[in-house]
Amino acid sequence: MSGEPGEVSLAPPPGEAEPGSGVRIVVEYCEPCGFEATYLELASAVKEQYPGIEIESRLGGTGAFEIEINGQLVFSKLENGGFPYEKDLIEAIRRASNGEPLEKITNSRPPCVIL
């Protein structure tokens, strides 16, 4: 066994694909609205769970934060008025990577909190 004691390999065993490989996500967001930070936070959480996933960002129109998985729209801030919960997006990715049908994410967290 190679490597230092205590090292943990995150690579999948030979012959197995990385979790999320074959799943492609496109996130279209409004940069002037300040949504880039939300995109980066979400992308980081997704990559942590699914290192093999492909995530692409695109600049969108005013108020947009739209998420497609394998070409299917699964979340729209324009429709829901908020941002997706990470757990809901992770579940949608799990379904896509298992070849299960995707459902639109309808839960959303508020875009901002006024204290």
pLDDT for 114: 56
Q: Judge whether 43 and 55 are in contact, CB under 8 Å.
A: yes
pLDDT for 17: 53
Does this model's pTM top 0.85? My answer is: no
The gap from C-alpha 58 to its chain's centroid, in whole angstroms, comes to: 14
- For 46, the token pair is 């997704």
pLDDT surpasses 50 at 33 = yes
In the chain, the number of structural domains is 1
Residue 91 sits in a domain of what CATH number? Answer: 3.40.30.10
- For 54, the token pair is 């492909």
pLDDT for 57: 97
Q: Judge whether 65 and 77 are in contact, CB under 8 Å.
A: yes
pLDDT for 64: 96
**pLDDT tens by residue, 37-55:** 999 999 999 999 998 899 9
- For 74, the token pair is 């699964």
**Which structural domain, as residue segments, surrounds residue 69?**
24-98
Q: Kindly state whether residue 35 falls inside one of the protein's structural domains.
A: yes
**pLDDT tens by residue, 63-115:** 999 999 999 999 999 999 999 999 999 999 999 999 999 999 999 987 665 55
A 10 A CB-CB count for 33 gives 16
pLDDT for 96: 94
Handedness of CA 96, 102, 104, 110 (dihedral sign): negative
